Structure 1
Amino acid sequence: MSRYISPVLYILLMLVGCMAFISIAGVRVGLFEPSTGFTMLRESVFASLILSVLAIGSLGVCRKENNIAGQRFFILVLTVSLVYSSMWIVFYVQKSGLPKINDITTDIDTPPSYMNVSFIRKTKENDVSYNEGFASIQHKYYPEIQPLFTHLDKANVYLAISELVEKRDWEVVANYSQVGVIEATARTPVFGFRDDVVIRVMQVEDDQVRVDMRSSSRTGGGDFGVNAERIRDFMKDLSESLNKSFMPKMSSVR
């Protein structure tokens, strides 16, 4: 009987793989909306769990038939389906406790403003204006998101920022070196969602230069912590780059 079950499970495994691929690739190339992609991905996880149950039942049939080759195949199907479904379930559990906000900034009082990004966002995408209601939520969940202060020259700091933006392969939307503002677009690694970034460099008192950064999602009400992680990583790399290149006296907060 296992020889009849094997082709069925093989086809089901291929269908789960195709569904997962289409859900991700379709969003990346813009074939359908992110909500559709998430729905397809969720259904592929459910299908993968059902496939795992079927594989376990098939293993029992193989043991009765003493079919070693069949057992190996069903173990393979079980392993692949469990790894796939577990990966997304763990991801969801880890991110489920994060707040549903999509705009993070190091300056919640006077966030850096988007200038050119407002012209490239579509009407159905999120507005570029900052939602003041996010400030208290960010302070609670991401208190480590702070501006960077340095005694370095403003021009050198801006140059280091530009190099890091280029290194990350972000698409530069606007570059205003005279006023110390750079706008860029980053893409998430899996679905390729476009998130916009604006970085502001200002001269402040005590001969210090202050660097503020804002990262916000074009679509969706929540970002699964991506924007906060982007700012955290960028500021960390910027601090290390400035220390390595110029050995300044720096601090992450005033």
Structure 2
Amino acid sequence: MRLMRHAGKIAFSVALIGAVCVVLMLFGARLGLWEPITGFGFYRTYLNPLGMIVAAVGLLALLLHLARKERGGVLLGGVALLVGLACLAPMIGGMLNPQQRAAPIHDISTDTANPPLFEALDETRAGARNTLDYGGPDLAAAQASAYPDIAPLDTALAPDAAYDRALAVARDMGWEIAALDPARRRFEATARTPVFHFADDVVVVVTEKGAGSRVDMRGVSRVGRSDQGVNAARIRDFQQRFGG
């Protein structure tokens, strides 16, 4: 009887612990607890079981307190149930609206014929499992099929002004600048995803084109066969922020 009387508090405590666990899965790498791929592995392995446990405990507490007409317990059980359902939301959403699988590529360039090369960043970068060597025609064809809109950015700005603008946009986007070469109008940087803190390495090169200039960009994920479209999305965001 005593356990039944405190079911809501127990369910709320379980939900609180579950919520902390989810936060750690998502942001533990940012806190320096583990590598991004480790947090992602925890997420894929434990999120759904955790959500089921929290939801089940919350539902049980809700029903018990409803039967006993204890409003406080009903509230706590309901909160726990909602937390559990929130954890299950990605799985439920995927079942109701299956998403198309992202292309199995992680190296995206605005110029696939002559992709910008990395010079400062190399194979020793922390946690890297993917090479910085470009995959050639096969990769170019896969990118053209998956992301046909990715192309160089043409701007009316003079080359030096375009380089300054590109560097300012990169800093506004929170990239960690790894190397600058103003004389050649190129820089290398590392961009990190907000969730899991995955690192993607980026090189930007500005060249003269007519009265204006052309801005090329390439992004390579350090881990994973597929980047889930992150590098293509980052290029689009960069170009939109840059403007014409």
Q: TM-score range by the shorter chain?
A: 0.7 to 0.9
Q: How far has the Cα of 1:174 moved from its partner?
A: 1.2
Secondary structure (helix, strand or coil) at the match of 1:108 reads: coil
Distance (whole Å) between structure 2 residues aligned to residue 178 and residue 35 of structure 1: 37
Code of the residue aligned with 1:238 in structure 2: it is: F
Q: Residue 95 of structure 1 contacts residue 225 of structure 1 at CA under 8 Å; is this kept in 2? A: no
Point out the more displaced range, 23-32 or 138-147: 23-32
SS at match of 1:27: coil
Measured after TM superposition, the shift of residue 238 of structure 1 is: 0.9
- From 177, 191, 194, the equivalent of 1:186 is 191
Pick one of 197, 202, 211 that aligns with 1:197.
202
Counterpart position of 1:219: 223
Distance 1:161 1:95, change over 3 A: farther
Instruction: Tell me, in whole angstroms, the C-alpha distance in 2 between the residues paired with 1:52 and 1:170.
Output: 38
What residue is the counterpart of 1:230 in the other structure? 234
User: 1:113 is paired with a residue of what secondary structure?
Assistant: coil
Match of 1:106?
110
- Return the TM-score normalized by structure 1: 0.83
Alignment of 1:5-44 (within 5 A): 5-42=7-44, 43-44=46-47
1:228 Cα deviation after fit: 0.8
The residue that corresponds to 1:161 in the other structure is 166
Q: Aligned letter for 2:181?
A: Y
Partners of 1:22 and 1:199 in 2: how far apart?
Answer: 33
Q: CA deviation at 1:231?
A: 0.4
Which whole-Å CA distance do the structure 2 matches of 1:145 and 1:124 have between them? 24
Q: Aligned-pair distance for 1:104?
A: 0.9
Corresponding residue SS for 1:125:
coil
C-alpha contact (below 8 Å) 2:177/2:189 kept by paired residues: yes
One-letter code of the match for 2:205?
R
CA distance in 2 between counterparts of 1:8 and 1:96 reads 39
Distance 1:166 1:129 in 2: 25
Q: Which runs of 4+ in 1 moved over 6 A?
A: 91-94
Gaps of 5+ in 1: 244-254
Q: Take 1:208 and 1:220, find their aligned partners in 2: how far apart are those partners?
A: 37
Answer whether contact 2:107 2:221 (CA < 8 A) is retained.
yes
Q: Which residue in the other structure is 2:48 paired with? A: 45
Indicate yes or no: 2:85 matched with 1:71. no
Change (3 A) 1:122 1:57: closer
| 1:252 alignment counterpart | none
Shift of residue 12, structure 1, vs aligned partner = 2.1
Given the alignment of the two structures, is residue 54 of structure 1 paired with residue 54 of structure 2, yes or no? Answer: no
Matched residues in 2 for 1:128 and 1:111: separation? 11
Q: Tell me, what secondary structure is at the counterpart of 2:183?
A: coil
User: Residues 138, 76 of structure 1: CA spacing in aligned structure 2 closer, same or farther, 3 A cutoff?
Assistant: same
Q: 2:122 aligns with which of 118, 121, 126?
A: 118
Identical columns (%)? 31
Provide, for residues 130-153 of structure 1, a one-character-per-residue CA deviation record: whole Å limited to 9, x for no partner: 122322221112111111113431
- 8 Å Cα contact 1:16-1:44 kept in structure 2: no
Map of 2:140 onto structure 1:
135
Task: Decide which moves more: 145-154 or 103-112.
Answer: 145-154
Deviation for aligned residue 1:233: 0.5
Kindly tell me: are residues 4 and 96 of structure 1, through their superposed partners in 2, closer, same or farther at Cα, counting changes over 3 Å?
A: farther
Q: Contact between 2:204 and 2:217, CA under 8 Å: does it hold in 1? A: yes
Structure 1 contact 20–40 (Cα < 8 Å) conserved:
no
Query: In structure 1, how many angstroms separate the alpha carbons of the residues matched to 2:182 and 2:69?
Result: 73
Shift of 1:20: 1.7
Question: SS of 2:174's equivalent?
Answer: coil
1:237, distance to aligned residue in structure 2 (A): 1.2
Deviations 1:94-115 (A, max 9, x none): 7662112211111111110001
Structure 2 portions without partners, runs of 5+: none
Distance, in Å, in 1 between the alignment partners of 2:99 and 2:186 is 32
Q: Which whole-Å deviations, capped at 9, do the CAs of 1:176-207 have from their partners, x for residues lacking one?
A: 11112111111111222221110111124x44
